């Protein structure tokens, strides 16, 4: 089996995007291959300018909760989502975009950060990658 | 052979691990990468990554909460 991690990024919540990218970057840093499948609300975060726009999954409180958490993160020195995404790309991670989500939500390729996306695909590609992965997560 | 130094002081998870990996990818075989930081878990986890990558861990030191890890690519 390939030493590989495959993660479905279904949620667009800020904290869950952090979880996905941190696990992904950790796996890359430890020598694994990583594929991230962005679907549904997760795919919204790959829209141009959309990466930081997700709400907090709990205690969002119309943005107040997110503001407080972001302020605390800054204090603790947590990297931005943009840095994590750039690092993911630099370390050879692969990003796949769900084409059905694009149809349902009326997202066009030109709306997305096409330079970061290696492929537009469906469930078959996910299964093919997941079946040879030692880590698979749904976030 | 080159010696590459990276400073991750004040950085937290997963940055020290990721910056170590980035430096190791850029290094040539035989080069030494030295990482300095103060994120406690990274002191344990960078050596784990070094082992997983099949590289040589030369030294791990800590003084006043600041660790220094040396790796040979």
Tens digit of pLDDT for each residue in B14-61? Answer: 999 999 999 999 999 999 999 999 999 999 999 999 999 999 999 999
Residue numbers of chain A with a pLDDT score lower than 50: none
Contact between A6 and A129 under an 8 Å Cβ cutoff? The reply is: yes
Overall domain count for chain A: 1
| A38-71 CB burial, b ≥16 within 10 A, e <16 | bbbbbbbbbbeeebeebbbeeebeeeeebeebbe
CATH, residue A130: 3.40.1260.10
**Which range marks the domain in which residue A116 is found?**
4-138
Alpha carbon separation from A74 to A14, A18, A71, A114, B68 (Å, rounded): 14, 14, 5, 28, 24
Residues of chain B contacting A84 with CB distance shorter than 8 Å = 14
Overall domain count for chain B: 1
The ipTM assigned to this model is 0.90
pLDDT at res. A2? 62
Between B15, B22, B48, which is nearest A30 by CB? B48
What is the reported pTM? 0.94
**Which range marks the domain in which residue B56 is found?**
3-72
pLDDT grade for B1, boundaries at 50, 70 and 90: confident
Does the structure show a pLDDT above 80 at B62? yes
Flag whether residue A25 sits within 8 Å of chain B, measured between CB atoms: yes
Residue to mutate among B8, B21, B57, with most A CBs inside 10 A, is B21
CATH, residue B19: 3.30.110.40
């Amino acid at each position: 089996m390939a030493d590989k991690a495959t993660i479905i990024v279904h949620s667009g919540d800020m904290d869950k995007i952090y979880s996905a990218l941190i696990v992904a970057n950790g796996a890359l840093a430890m020598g694994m291959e990583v594929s991230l499948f962005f679907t549904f609300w997760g795919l919204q975060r790959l829209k141009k300018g959309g990466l930081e726009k997700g709400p907090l999954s709990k205690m969002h409180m119309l943005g107040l909760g997110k503001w407080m958490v972001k302020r605390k993160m800054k204090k603790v020195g947590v990297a931005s989502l943009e840095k994590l995404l750039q690092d993911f790309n630099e370390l050879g991670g692969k990003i796949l975009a769900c084409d059905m989500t694009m149809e349902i939500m009326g997202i066009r390729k030109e709306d997305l950060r096409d330079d970061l996306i290696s492929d537009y695909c469906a469930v078959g590609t996910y299964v093919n990658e997941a079946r040879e992965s030692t880590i698979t997560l749904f976030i | 052979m080159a010696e590459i130094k990276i400073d991750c002081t004040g950085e937290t998870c997963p940055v020290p691990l990721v910056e170590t990996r980035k430096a190791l990818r850029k290094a040539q075989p035989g080069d030494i990468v030295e990482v300095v930081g103060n994120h406690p878990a990274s002191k344990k986890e960078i050596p784990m990554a070094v082992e997983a990558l099949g590289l040589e861990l030369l030294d791990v030191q800590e003084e006043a909460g600041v660790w220094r890890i040396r790796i040979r690519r």
